[in-house]
Amino acid sequence: MCGIVGLHLRNPDLHPRLGAMLAEMLGEMQDRGADSAGIAVYGNPDWAPAGQGCISLLELEVTADEVSATLSAALGAPVAAQTIDVTLVASAPVPAEELLAVARAAYPVALVAGFGSDLTVLKGVGAPRDLSRSWGLDAASGWQGVGHTRMATESAVTSSGAHPFAVGPEQCLVHNGSFSNHATIRRELRAQGVEFDSENDTEVGARFVAHQLAAGKDVETALKEVCATFDGFYTLLVSNRDSFAVVRDAIACKPAVIAETDDWVAMASEYRALAKLPGVANARIWEPEPEVVYAWTR
């Protein structure tokens, strides 16, 4: 059992409140998974300045100042770095892939938690409400956010094992459930040159989706391929900087609810995570149908 939350804002007047709303939603899902949590926030200029490449790194035992100096020298451009709880967040006026390549060369043991324009991924071990406070999530702005509370069932409780899994540019995936054939699909993807950071089944789903998108498929087609390829029970939320999509497996035993207004689209494992959103009393609310892809574009 895990908890998923996601919020896609249509009304720019709500952008300053994104973090506060997402923190409230994440906290409501704490009892679905209190061992670790993670978020992806799109558009917070304090973490990911507009027009710059951004990366989020874990398992990096150096200071932000050291990272800034090392990467600035290697890149030949100023790199800003800050540590947010256990995640090192860096940005520079270059494409994210260029910054990421320099970071990987300088710190080969670091785990890449996310990369791309306008994206920050933060993860940690502990109760989601405590993590939200340590991240300063209440003060974050942006146009889209995704969160996950984890109850680990098949891999270690670590920051790197927390969701979201963000393995493609500006992409992230969160997952409630389990994939029963993930080992087979991991082997098939490895044979195609895809590298993995963990034994987590969710990473296999994220790598599969990223592989599909890199091949030119849109997110709806990629998620239909997930339904055709993966066995198990799952609800997935997949996002990039311009889209937000939800799909459930054929049996749909993992809970999910979607709410939509003119101002926002939101998704959560349970309605209580949506109950305090502004205007929810007038929202269209429904339970997503099995193997139907629901997608919205900014």
Residues involved in catalysis: 2
Q: How far apart are CA 237 and CA 254, in angstroms?
A: 12
For 61, residues 6+ apart whose C-beta sits below 8 A from its C-beta are: none
DSSP state of 118: T
Q: Are 259 and 266 in contact (CB under 8 A)?
A: yes
In 3D space, the residue among 177, 175, 147 whose CA is nearest the CA of residue 21 turns out to be: 147
Q: Which residue has the tokens 């709410």?
A: 259
Name all contacts of 105-108 with Cβ < 8 Å and 24+ positions apart: 105/74, 106/70, 106/71, 106/74, 107/57, 107/60, 107/62, 107/67
Burial (Cβ within 10 Å: 0-12, 13-18, ≥19) of residue 285:
middle
Q: Bridge-partner residues for 4, per DSSP?
A: 148
